[in-house]
Amino acid sequence: MTRSPNPVLDAVLTRRSASQLTEPAPGSADLERVVQAAATAPDHGRLRPWRLVVVSGDERARLGDALAEAADTPEQARRAAAKPLRAPLLLTIVHRPVADHPKVPEWEQLAATTGMVTTLSLLLHSHGFASIWRTGPAVQAPQVRKHLGVDDDEQLLGWLYVGTRIASDVADRRSLDTPARITWHTAGI
């Protein structure tokens, strides 16, 4: 990736979800570094109401077994078992709110968690990796929650699939129609 005068802006403008991922994925030291940086995302009260469960290697197939167990039909089970194998690394996103916090409501803690994941996705992109955040009904499945060690007071928000974009996976070219989404409230001139 070529450097421009504003690499942060470039990362934000060029990051796109990648549905097809392959090796390499970040190693443990690189992952810990980008997670440490992502943890600086806005977080009122510095509660860090999240945790990540890293799934890689053979553990992806074991997660697939738990997903298959939660499926309704044999065909859904077959497809579910293959899902974790679509990327070399999965980061399980677990939201763990501090209940009844006197200053930070749970919705704001959820915003902090999603802000961290967004920042993490941008940081991965800026280091040459690609990702996609995947969810689905399996986040509620008791078998999946148990397999990943998600407690009753936690919320499973899905998985950030991480790896290297396959060349044939062309990034979408979303239009930037943001001016139509901005309302200006300004003092009279």
Pick the closest to residue 134 from 59, 31, 43, 63 (CA basis).
Answer: 63
Indicate if the alpha-carbon torsion angle 22, 114, 170, 5 is positive or negative.
negative
Pick the closest to residue 146 from 49, 89, 86, 69 (CA basis).
Answer: 69
pLDDT for 181:
86
Collapsed DSSP state (helix, strand, coil) of residue 153: coil
Residue-wise pLDDT for 73-88, tens only, equals: 999 999 999 999 999 9
Mean pLDDT in residue range 147-166: 98
pLDDT for 179:
85
Indicate if the alpha-carbon torsion angle 66, 161, 83, 97 is positive or negative.
positive
Does the pLDDT of residue 1 top 70, yes or no?
A: no
**What's the pTM?**
0.90
User: Tell me, what DSSP letter sits at residue 19?
Assistant: S
Q: What is the fold, at CATH topology level, of the domain defined by 22-165?
A: NADH Oxidase (3.40.109)
Name the band, by pLDDT with cuts 50, 70 and 90, for residue 170. low
